[in-house]
Amino acid sequence: MRIFKFGGASVKDADGVRNVVRVLQEVGFEDTLVVISAMGKTTNAMESLVAAYFEDKRRISIVLEEIKDYHQSIISELFEDEKNPIYEKVQLLFEEVKGFLTWNKSPKYAFVYDQVVGYGELISTSIVSAYLNQEGLTNTWHDVRELIKTDNSYRDAHVNWERTENEVKSRVDMSKLNITQGFLGSDDNNFTTTLGREGSDYTAAILAYCLNANSVTIWKDVPGVLNADPRNFEETQLLDEISYREAIELAFYGASVIHPKTLQPLQRKEIPLHVKSFVNPSGNGTKVSTGKGISPVIPCFIVKKNQVLLKLSTLDFSFIVEDNISEIFKLFHDHRLKVDLIQNSAISFSVCLDNKFGGLQTILEELEQKFKVICHEDVSLYTIRHFNDAAVKSLQNGKSVLVEQRGRETVQLVVK
């Protein structure tokens, strides 16, 4: 059994869906489970729908209609017969979204988010599955919420591995072509949960672990894992092969090509991960495996934008010690602020944070009661693995460096 994952960019339009067929025909599709993300920027659009629900309900119908029109244009281009069941199935899925937003009584943003946003994946996989069947690639469509069971930590759910493994093994026929969604799971009450933004790679790894898969392949619009994101850096180079450890380090620091949670379950069972191009399926791509000592010999650049840098110092110039730090980190945990860098001295403490859940303003009010707080918003955190002086200087030029931290293999810069 092989696990393939196609992201939103690979199915952003009708040509993208046709290309998925081409890739599967070229590399084979027997004994394969395909994980597919929402189409194009649909997740962003679904997030706008959730925002409309909480901020201006008059916009719900407008946003929903835009999302519907986008998918209908893809369907009409792929399926000439308007009596094809896919038209009705997608219509019913949109009616479910509308129905939920009508009868829901929960005021909790994270809960509503998970119940709504996941429909992007349900719709995309329904379309792709129907098109594959039309083109002769007979497949079984699975609702991944029946496969991956989690707790109720909405927007960042934790997998119940024992239940998930039992469900996956009992429901997936490993001898066939299977299609399912990334990003989603369900809790004990069968409410939809999500595994964290960009969590479809993690889904592929979960399913691979449960099925003892031979390999996982992530199909991207780049030739493999590069030493930097070509959207932010010039003259990038392909990394032919790297170890699990190196890939985990890159993912931890924010390399977007592999989701941070993806590697651990694969490493536990030594399942190799391939990152390949859906534009050039025959290309070698990058292999991530258990090989020792496989690490890049060139600097690898990672940037995380829209970060927050907090600089804290005590009001009475006393030391910041364990009790202060534990209190600060409890606040970060309670408000779901992800820590990306820490630097401290006797009377000051600096931390670079990801404010993706919007808890910053609340935590600032609490911190200012006990500390002098300097807050820099919209900063960028640059990380260089296997750095050299030239690599560091290339990032320092023309930028205001607020924090610099060096280790044996890694340097990090917070810049404005």
Both tokens of 143, joined, read 């609702």
The residue whose two tokens read 């729908």 is: 49
Burial of 180 (0-12, 13-18, 19+ CB in 10 A): buried
Burial of 324 (0-12, 13-18, 19+ CB in 10 A): middle
Q: Residue 336 annotated as binding?
A: no
Spatial distance between the Cα atoms of 396 and 390, rounded to a whole number of angstroms: 10
Q: Please report the DSSP string for 98-138 in residue order.
A: HHHHHH-----HHHHHHHHHTHHHHHHHHHHHHHHHHTT--
Q: Please report the DSSP string for 198-249 in residue order.
A: TTHHHHHHHHHHHHT-SEEEEEESSSS-BSS-TTT-SS--B--EEEHHHHHH
Q: Give the closest residue to 409 by CA, choosing from 171, 186, 250, 190.
A: 250
Spatial distance between the Cα atoms of 23 and 10, rounded to a whole number of angstroms: 11
Spatial distance between the Cα atoms of 384 and 367, rounded to a whole number of angstroms: 31
Q: Give the closest residue to 209 by CA, choosing from 252, 256, 159.
A: 159
Enumerate residues 6+ apart whose C-beta is below 8 A from 79.
86, 87, 130, 131, 134
Which residues participate in the annotated binding site? 231
Known binding-site positions for ATP:
231
